[in-house]
Amino acid sequence: MPVNSRAKLNSKLFDKDVEQKAIRDGYGPGLVSAGEENPNVVVLCADLSESTRSEDFAKKFPERFFEIGVAEQNMAAIAAGLGVSGKIPFISSYATFSPGRNWEQIRTTISYNDSNVKIAGHHAGLVTGPDGATHQAVEDIATMRVLANMKVFVPCDAIEAKKATIAAAKIWGPIYIRFAREKSSVLTTEATPYTPGKAEVFWESKKKPKAVIIGCGLLMYNALLAAKELEEDGIDVAVINNHTIKPLDEKTILEYAKKCGAVVTVEEHQISGGLGGAVAEFLSKNAPTPMEFVGMQGVFGESGPGKELIDEYGMGVKDVIRAVKKAIKRK
Amino acid sequence: MLESLHDKKLKFLEEMANRIRQDIISMLVEAESGHSAGPLGMADIFTALYFHVLKHDPKKPDWPERDRLVLSNGHICPVRYAAMAHAGYFSLEELKTLRKIHSRLQGHPHRATLPGMETTSGPLGSGLSQAVGMALAVKLDKKRCKIYCLMSDGEQQCGNIWEAAMFAGKNKLNNLIGVIDRNNIQIDGFTENIMPLEPLRDKYEAFNWHVIEIDGHNIHHFVDAVNEAHAIYEKPTVIIAHTIPGKGVSFMENKFEWHGKPPNSDEAEAALMELAANYDRMKREHH
């Protein structure tokens, strides 16, 4: 199978019983690890310490944990004050509230002010499920990516989420990290390489691939399932885990766009402004390539089981396959 | 306790406040845009802060033990720039670059370009939260410095202010001192017509703050209020400073129309003449 052996992915990746773990479950242990390593790491939470998993840190380092209450604007700006005073604050809430409700505070007091704040947006994407569209953030990558000084990380599973959290504490400057609520397949292992800003090739056929699927977040699993089906169908592709939306790994994206000649982006986010937008902005200037976009098609979600919603809103395995075939046809 | 404010020092501060007012007028007429009323109204308090209250070193703006001065209502920055220049953060000459291209003196203050500017501000209502963050940070680091947060009265209409006030009250941030420029005006008119703030004292008291009300043009009263704030151990303190917007320039005083516009050259000349005459009078009285 064309799984990239250097990516050291989960050997049970394509088994029915592949381990299921929520991406948010990587945040708590990541915070604890970052907190152990650096006494300046502090964590703020807006009345969601259990569901954002920031309680792991609160239990271990109560003197460095601040409960803000339901006040996301206050949380962002308090963090900005901490961040310019030598602390490394992580702010934790649901992505629709932070960076949703507090976008201006993030823009002025964190991003423009260049304060060393890490923004953890939880319950992002459609898989937030039964809570409905009010709680399903599908715009957060766009609203964070557009800010100067801001980096954007979108981990694909719980293991990568832990690595992203630890890495964010070590990289100076404002960073947005996106987390999902529902359990999803664990794709990577502790040994999988993870460097912010460096996309990882998860799958590459031995023969020259006809298209590259560039994904992020938990839909990486659908991207890989699609690649497997396409392979069985005689269509060779490459799959890239683009866990850092900003700064974009332009080198890898350019290489694969040129090599494959067709690009499909896959993300649990509006197709405008997210990963697909970032890749399209870059390629249209440097290597115009036929592109298809799998993601939310400019509508809001609704209540329902997360995985069913993914299919309902056009981000299932079949949708990825269809997009790949369409992109190839447009070459 | 602050150093006691003897007569000679008070005279120096009053003269300095007048010079700062003159600089504000000169800066604004040169910039051809900006805010007049607020900066003039806060000249006495900024003078007291930079020349008597703050523990700071203009030659070492990043000194970790310094007191922090957060300006939440960034639009009154000309008064801060003028005070900083007189205090030695940069040359008086640089004041003329306000709002011009490549200047460090942005129309609304920017931390990254100007050493000693503690925060970027302009959009109202988020300064108190940032000051809270700084107050927490210095407490974690067991530093004894104070965090001063200057706010306008108009921005008390922002919900974010009260989120910060609630947090500071809960956490008994006794190293945090808020100062509200209670000048009763905002862009569209008088605060009590736009969206009433009173009873402002009761609001802060209800949020578990210690409240002191003063005449914001009486430097002695301001210094006394700061000393009182330092002595309050169990609460954050807010000083509600009653000021006259446009103070020192009679045709600007108490007129909300002067909130967001600069004087033209004739108006600037008249303003500078009035301020200079006051300066001379003060000098005569002081000697």
Q: What CATH number does the domain containing A321 carry?
A: 3.40.50.920
Asked if A259 and A293 sit in the same domain, the reply is yes
pLDDT in tens, A296-327: 999 999 999 999 999 999 999 999 999 999 99
Structural domain that includes position B246? 7-286
> Over the stretch B23-41, which tens digit does the pLDDT of each residue have?
999 999 999 999 999 999 9
Question: Model pTM?
Answer: 0.96
Q: Please check whether residues A12 and A24 belong to one and the same domain.
A: no
A221 band by pLDDT with thresholds 50, 70 and 90: very high
Domain annotation covers residue B1: no
- State the total domains in chain B: 1
Classified as helix, coil or strand, A152 is: strand
Gap from A79 CA to chain B (nearest CA, Å): 6
Q: Give A98 to chain B, closest Cα distance, Å.
A: 14
Nearest CA in chain A to B118: A84
Mean predicted confidence (pLDDT) in A242-256: 98
Computed over every residue of chain A, the mean pLDDT equals 97
Domain hosting residue A263, numbered range: 5-18+193-329
Q: Is A112 on the interface with B (CB under 8 A)?
A: yes
Decide if A87 and B137 are in contact by the 8 Å CB cutoff: yes
CB contact under 8 A, A105 and B160: yes
Whether chain B has a CB inside 8 Å of the CB on A101: the answer is no
Is A229 noted as a catalytic residue in this protein? no
Residue B24 lies in a domain: yes
Find chain A residues with C-beta within 8 A of B166's C-beta: 69, 71
**Closest-CA distance of chain A to residue B283, Å:** 41
My answer on whether A168 and A58 are in the same domain is yes
A284 touches B: beta carbon within 8 Å: no
What is the pLDDT, as a whole number, of residue B198?
Answer: 98
Which of residues A153, A185, A217 is at a domain's end? A185
How many domains does the structure of chain A reveal?
2
User: Among A72, A200, A267, A268, which one carries the catalytic annotation?
Assistant: A72
CATH number for A137: 3.40.50.970
Q: Which residue among A168, A185, A202 closes a domain?
A: A185
Domain shared by A130 and A208, yes or no: no
Counting one residue from chain A and one from chain B, the pairs whose CB atoms sit within 8 A come to 106
Residues of A in contact with B142 (CB under 8 A): none
Are residues A74 and A152 part of one domain?
yes
Give CA–CA dist B166/A295, Å, rounded.
40
Please tell me if residue A231 touches chain B, with a CB cutoff of 8 Å: no
Which domain-ending residue is among A185, A207, A238?
A185
Residue A168 sits in the same domain as residue A206? no
Tell me which chain A residues have a C-beta less than 8 angstroms from the C-beta of B134: 81-82, 84-85
B287, pLDDT greater than 90: no
Q: Is residue B251 part of a domain?
A: yes
Give the whole-angstrom CA distance, residue B27 versus residue B65.
31
For residue B180, give the CATH number of its domain. 3.40.50.970
Res. B3: pLDDT tops 90:
no
